[in-house]
């Protein structure tokens, strides 16, 4: 009887966690081993539990750099720092490739929707590195900035509407007129060590992530150094804010995503080291459940869902061809090859919740499994 009550409790907790995860989701770009992968846009719930890859190499991403959701089209844009220079456009609930949003960009890095509603795109190349603008339907508008910024990888606007771009290899921040794109000179020309992301605080101070030194710095509205806010975050790149003001920061040196409060005090590892390799972009938004197509509620991919040995159903094999299992920290713990054996034995793993992701026929389905010995 106690065992039955425990099973009921676990099932209840799993269901409750599923409901809570509908509130917010965290999407993280993993550049992994840079030009050699393995790449993914990983999805986590608001508590940092891994829910699977929204997009991976099978969906056509190569060296992902940034994530922008386009609400009107229920799509997500991914900039790919690859030889082809592509921004790819994907369905936001399946990750399936829709089309190439833009091509021929000289190493697209950061993307941001500007005050004018256009998409601003930075270029990494040492030859053609002006800031580009696109309409959100993919129509090219112009090379907006008067001059290029070599290895540009951070952009933001101040309260006057002027915009600023960081140069990683020159360790500078350049200012541009937000209306005309005219060059207004270097805003910060010293004291930086490989700047990546930048953003303005409501009070007008500029925050700069220094990838090489692992220091996040604050400068005032005149470009004068104020203080070091966070240290020990080598490879810092990628950030976003929770509604309560907490900030998530990607740390490439150990693959963690760290959470800080609004005063930049460390709270916790939102994602522990070992789940991601090089988190370089973060997007927090209302959760978009991973779609599995029609008749999703009737689809059963494995039986049983509680135990130590799990067997693929005929439904699963008829609808999918790839089956992978992760723990809630995002670590791959197993695969099922239906051509060899339809069952997966999890008796060697700790009891708890695991995620079976089934992929195939343009769909991705994630199912929770409870590993528990009888």
Domains of the chain: 2-13+291-371 (2.60.40), 23-286 (2.120.10.30)
Write out pLDDT tens, residues 107-122.
999 999 999 999 999 9
Q: What would the mean pLDDT of 352-362 be, rounded to a whole number?
A: 81
Query: What local confidence, expressed as pLDDT, does residue 58 receive?
Result: 82
Binning pLDDT at 50, 70 and 90, where does residue 80 land? very high
Task: DSSP for 36-104, please give it.
Answer: G---EEEEEETTS-EEEEEEEGGGT-SSEEEEEEEGGGTEEEEEE-STT-EEEEEETTT--EEEEEE--
11 has pLDDT over 50 = no
Q: Which residues contact 148 (CB under 8 A, 6 or more apart)?
A: 123, 128, 129, 130
pTM exceeds cut of 0.75: yes
Query: What local confidence, expressed as pLDDT, does residue 291 receive?
Result: 67
Write out pLDDT tens, residues 222-250.
999 999 999 999 999 999 999 999 999 99
Q: What would the mean pLDDT of 177-191 be, rounded to a whole number?
A: 98
Specify the higher pLDDT residue, 13 or 302. Answer: 302
Query: What local confidence, expressed as pLDDT, does residue 329 receive?
Result: 72
Q: What would the mean pLDDT of 133-142 be, rounded to a whole number?
A: 97
Specify the higher pLDDT residue, 312 or 315. Answer: 312
């Amino acid at each position: 009887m106690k065992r039955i009550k425990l099973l009921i409790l676990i099932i209840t907790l799993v269901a409750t966690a599923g409901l809570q995860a509908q509130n917010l989701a965290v999407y993280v770009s993993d550049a992994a081993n840079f030009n050699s992968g393995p790449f993914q846009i990983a999805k986590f719930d608001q508590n940092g539990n891994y829910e699977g890859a929204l997009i991976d190499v099978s969906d056509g991403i190569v060296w992902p750099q940034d994530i922008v959701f386009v609400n009107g089209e229920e799509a997500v844009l991914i900039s790919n720092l690859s030889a082809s220079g592509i921004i790819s456009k994907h369905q936001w609930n399946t990750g399936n490739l829709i089309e190439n949003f833009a091509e021929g960009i000289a190493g697209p890095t950061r993307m941001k929707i500007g005050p004018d509603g256009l998409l601003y795109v930075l270029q990494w190349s040492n030859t053609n590195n002006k800031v580009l603008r696109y309409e959100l339907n993919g129509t090219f508008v112009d090379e907006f900035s008067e001059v290029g910024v070599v290895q540009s990888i951070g952009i933001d606007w101040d309260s006057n509407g002027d915009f600023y771009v960081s140069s990683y290899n020159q360790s500078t921040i350049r200012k541009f007129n937000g209306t005309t794109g005219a060059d207004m000179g270097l805003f910060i020309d010293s004291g930086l060590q490989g700047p990546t992301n930048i953003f303005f605080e409501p009070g007008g101070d500029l925050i700069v992530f220094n990838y090489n030194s692992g220091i996040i710095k604050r400068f005032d509205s005149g470009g004068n150094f104020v203080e070091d806010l966070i240290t020990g975050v080598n490879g810092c790149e990628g950030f976003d804010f929770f509604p309560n003001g907490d900030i998530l920061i990607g740390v490439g040196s150990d693959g963690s995503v760290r959470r800080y409060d609004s005063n930049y005090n460390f709270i916790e590892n939102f994602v522990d080291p070992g789940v991601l390799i090089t988190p370089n972009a973060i997007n927090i938004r209302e959760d978009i459940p991973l779609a599995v197509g029609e008749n999703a509620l009737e689809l059963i991919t494995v039986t049983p869902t509680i135990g130590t040995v799990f067997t693929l159903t005929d439904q699963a094999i008829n609808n999918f061809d790839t089956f992978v299992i992760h723990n809630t920290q995002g670590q791959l713990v197993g695969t099922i090859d239906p051509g060899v054996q339809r069952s997966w034995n999890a008796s060697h793993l700790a009891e708890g919740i695991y995620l079976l992701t089934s992929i195939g026929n343009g769909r991705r389905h994630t199912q929770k499994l409870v590993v528990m010995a009888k």
